[in-house]
Amino acid sequence: MAREPRHVLTASRQGHYAGVASRGLAFAADLGVLWGIYTLIVLAVSVASQLITGKTFKLGSHQAVDLVVLVVWWFVYFAYQWTLGGRTIGMALFGLRLVQKDGGVVTGRQAMVRTLLLYFSVLFFVIAAIWMVVQRERRTLHDLIAGTAVVYAWDARAARLRWLAKRTDVDSPAPLGSAAQTS
């Protein structure tokens, strides 16, 4: 039995429901990015406060404010990216996309509802993971209520670094005055 080329195997996954492992890895990557940006924001506020007022301000010493800022940042991070392009940074790294349950583009309302319900899925992670494994469409509670699904959307051709890739006749336009353009 002949093996299919890698590009055929990758393309054949497009549109299929994403599994627990790829979604978990994408979420872990998102948490890393989210936490890194949050830390930079807190550092910038602390430095700006010290430069302007001369007093040291540490957000961590104000736990209630710290929690509110973190929850708001979490909401903005996920809802904005899902509304804008249907994927977060972590989802893009692992070739995933958020779509409506029928495959359409996610609306802003759906992204916001899904983000709000994502808090509960994280709190009840084990139950959410088991639910995702046993359900045919791999949709969690926040997906079911928001009417969304996470699918594989890896396009190997679009993902490669085009400026480093070797150009082929198919990829590049014909030079001016060549036989391909004049006919």
Per-residue model confidence (pLDDT) at position 11: 45
pTM of the model: 0.71
Rounded CA separation 137/6 (Å): 25
pLDDT at 36 over 70: yes
- The answer to whether the beta carbons of residues 106 and 148 sit under 8 Å apart is yes
Tokens 């979490």 locate to 74
Give the residue with greater pLDDT, 158 vs 149: 149
pLDDT category at 144 given cuts 50, 70, 90 is confident
pLDDT tens digits, one per residue of 120-141 = 888 887 887 788 788 887 888 8
pLDDT tens digits, one per residue of 85-113 = 899 999 999 999 999 988 899 999 999 99
Rounded CA separation 36/42 (Å): 10
pLDDT category at 153 given cuts 50, 70, 90 is confident
Averaged pLDDT for residues 29-55: 89
A 10 A CB-CB count for 45 gives: 14
Averaged pLDDT for residues 162-175: 46
Averaged pLDDT for residues 30-35: 95
State whether residue 161 is helix, strand or coil: coil
Give the residue with greater pLDDT, 10 vs 30: 30
Greatest mean pLDDT range, 53-62, 63-72, 124-133, 149-158: 63-72
Per-residue model confidence (pLDDT) at position 59: 65
